[in-house]
Amino acid sequence: MSNFAKVGDMIPDIAMTTPEGGTVKPSDFTGQKLVLFFYPKDDTPGCTTENKDFSTLAAAFAAAGVALLGISKDTPQKHAKFIAKHALTAPLASDAVEGGLSDALGVWAEKVNYGRTYMGMVRTTYLIAPDGRIAQLWPKVKVKDHAAAVLAAAQAL
C-alpha cells in the first residue's frame, strides 16, 4: 500500500473522539513518545487480544514515558462498553469521521476476505517520536507478541 505514511513523516494532527465524548489528537502528546495502534473492530478475538496485551503492558509503557492510544472506527459508546467488558487500561479513540486520521495515514483501506471486497482498518501500529515524526511503523500487524515488540522499540527510542 503505497499511500501508507512512512517513517520520518509527521503524524497528521487530526482529532478523534474519546469514549467520554471529548477529543484527542496526536499533538496532545507533543514532547513525549506515543504509540498509535489501529485495529479493525472492538470485541473481535484478535482486537480484544491486542487491546488486552497493550493494557497489560500499559504501566511499562508509562514508565518508559510512552503514551498509548488504540484507534478504530467503532463509536465512542462501543469503545466504552469494550473497555468496561475487558477492563482495558490502554486509552481508545474513535476515528469514525470521513477523512479522519486512519484515512490520512492510509490504514483505512480496501480489504478482501473470502472473495468479498470492503473498506476496513488495516491493523497497523505507529511509534511517534516526541517531535511528532513517525519513528517506526508496523504494517499488517500479527497480534501475537506485538505489544511487547512495540514496547521494546519505544524503550529504545
Mean pLDDT, the chain cut into blocks of 10 residues (157 residues total) = 77 96 96 97 96 97 97 97 97 94 94 92 96 95 96 96
Identify the pLDDT of residue 134: 97
What grid cell was written down for 82? Answer: 469494550
Side-chain-side CA neighbours of 26 within 13 Å: the count stands at: 26
Identify the pLDDT of residue 1: 40
C-alpha dihedral over 115, 120, 124, 130, to 10 degrees?
Answer: 160
Give the residue extent of every domain in the chain. Answer: 32-156
Identify the pLDDT of residue 3: 63
The residue annotated as part of the active site, out of 5, 24, 34, 47, is 47
Four-way CATH pick for 32-156: 1.10.620.20, 3.40.30.10, 1.10.1270.20, 3.40.50.620: 3.40.30.10
Pick from 153, 128, 152, 157: which is nearest to 37 by CA? 128
- The yes-or-no answer on residue 47 being catalytic is yes
Identify the pLDDT of residue 69: 98
